[in-house]
Amino acid sequence: MIAGFSGNIQPVEEWEAVAIKKDAAIQTAGILNLKGNQWQQESGAIMHRLSDASLTQIKWMARGEVRKAKQIFKNALRSTFGDYQSAWVELAVHLALIGIAEPEAETVEWKVNRVLCTKWWRRRLRVKQAREQENKAIDAGLVKKSKQIYVSDQTVARRRAQRGQNDRILENLTAINDLGQEYKLYDLAQLSISNPQIRRAELMTRISGFEQYSKNWGDVGEFYTITCPSKMHSSSRKYDGTTPKQAQAYLSTQWQKIRAKLNRKKIEVYGFRVVEPHHDGCPHWHLLLFMDASVTGFVRSVLKSYALEVDGSEAGAEKHRFKAERILTGTNPKTGGEYSAAGYIAKYISKAIDGYGVDFDLFGNDAQAASARIEAWASTWGIRQFQQIGGASVTVWRELRRLRDEEIKGCEVLERA
């Protein structure tokens, strides 16, 4: 935490080393000809005002941030004799200090253009406002199973209003195709994965495809659950203030380590990952992975070692932080049907999308109401709920699904795909 700044600092990436070297200069000379602490206090005050700002006020704040960014960039170009990369570092440090994630763009020029765009700032400030408000609710102890589960009621209402506004906009927009046919954009959206039913069906179809592929190759399925350390849970006495976004970043980092170790051993796994919130909003992961039967023991040990890498000796870690289960095969004696890997993950996907086929969540809440809260949670914290692991990209998969049988027949590559 930087002295004089009360917000959370977003993790830096490619420019981290440069930013660290410049830290001392920023603290003393500062940007905009202010002392470092003065500038940080000013930024902190702006972010404090953001918490309760109206949409109109956010627009004005966005314009102010653009003016400030332009001045920072202009001064940096002058002091670095036109070095664009170094000037961008100044802007990136500015964003990090006030807790705004840098734009995702391929080139430095594109990143600079976005930071100098009022619309970009409006979006970023709205996102930050929503997260700051939700963080206050978490700190106040409102987000938990006995009060407001997964996410605060305020955030659920905000997300509902946002979705309603989006639907109204789409209802009033019309698209015309080459044949002169007119369609409301809302109706077209209902035919895409924006429709929860279609999104759920597509995910289940993709998972079933992976399962069929595994059977063809004689691979086996494993189901894993990875949970964060207790210090990242607001319901724990050890809570250190970690936000759901930061907890998700921790899980992603651990997964990167897992993938790296498996890659070094030339072990291939494929499947899907689902992210769910605990009742206090802290994320945990469910992973359905397929692999060669000979490597299951090693894969389990790798996942467990990294799942428990941080605070792995704390009470309850062995029991709660990592769980592994072999996907059964053959006939289920209770139902008479065949065991299905897709069935293991289906309820988690349904809970995260629309609650279809699930009566209640783990805490006895109506599944549809719970799914609305989970969707609001994921949207607010920018958490990707579903991710494919291995296999061709979903874009390629969708294009192949559009092909008719007669287009595929006779083409060896397409038939294999």
**Residue extents of the structural domains in the chain:** 16-137, 196-402
Q: What is the spatial distance between Cα 9 and Cα 3, in angstroms, rounded to a whole number?
A: 12
Q: Which amino acid is present at 180?
A: G
On the CB side of 325, how many CA atoms lie within 13 Å of its CA?
14
Residues with Cβ < 8 Å from 157, sequence gap 6 or more?
none
Q: What pLDDT is stored for residue 405 in this prediction?
A: 63
Q: Are strands 386-389 and 270-277 parallel, antiparallel or unpaired?
A: antiparallel
Q: Report DSSP state, residue 293.
A: G
Q: What pLDDT is stored for residue 238 in this prediction?
A: 95
Query: Can you state the percent helix, strand and coil of the chain, rounding each to 5?
Result: 55, 10, 35
CB atoms within 10 A of CB 338: 11
Q: What pLDDT is stored for residue 396 in this prediction?
A: 73
The answer to whether residues 269 and 231 touch, using CB atoms and an 8 Å cutoff, is no
Largest Cα–Cα separation, the chain: 75
Helix segments in 175-230, DSSP class H: 185-189, 196-217
Main-chain dihedrals φ then ψ at residue 158, nearest 5 degrees: -65, -45
Q: What pLDDT is stored for residue 44 in this prediction?
A: 58
The answer to whether residues 277 and 212 touch, using CB atoms and an 8 Å cutoff, is no
Helix segments in 289-360, DSSP class H: 296-307, 317-320, 341-353
The answer to whether residues 48 and 41 touch, using CB atoms and an 8 Å cutoff, is no
Q: What is the DSSP string of 216-254?
A: HHT-EEEEEEEE--GGG-TTSTT-----HHHHHHHHHHH
Residue with tokens 């805490």: 363
Residues with Cβ < 8 Å from 304, sequence gap 6 or more?
322, 324
Q: What pLDDT is stored for residue 86 in this prediction?
A: 86
Residues with Cβ < 8 Å from 154, sequence gap 6 or more?
133, 134, 137
Residues with Cβ < 8 Å from 38, sequence gap 6 or more?
30
Q: Which portions of the chain are predicted below pLDDT 50?
A: 1-36, 39
Q: Which residues are annotated as catalytic?
A: 344, 348
Residue with tokens 């008479």: 336
Residues with Cβ < 8 Å from 228, sequence gap 6 or more?
242, 247, 250, 251, 282, 283, 284, 321
The answer to whether residues 39 and 113 touch, using CB atoms and an 8 Å cutoff, is no
SS (H, E, C) 349-360: HHHHHCCCCCCE
User: Tokens representing 336?
Assistant: 């008479």
Q: What pLDDT is stored for residue 18 in this prediction?
A: 42
Q: What pLDDT is stored for residue 22 in this prediction?
A: 45
Q: What pLDDT is stored for residue 162 in this prediction?
A: 86
Q: How far is CA 167 from the centre of its chain?
A: 23
Long-range pairs for 103-112 at CB < 8 Å and ≥24 separation?
108/84, 109/84, 112/73, 112/84, 112/87, 112/88
CA distances from 309 to 239, 254, 313 (A): 18, 9, 9
CB atoms within 10 A of CB 410: 8
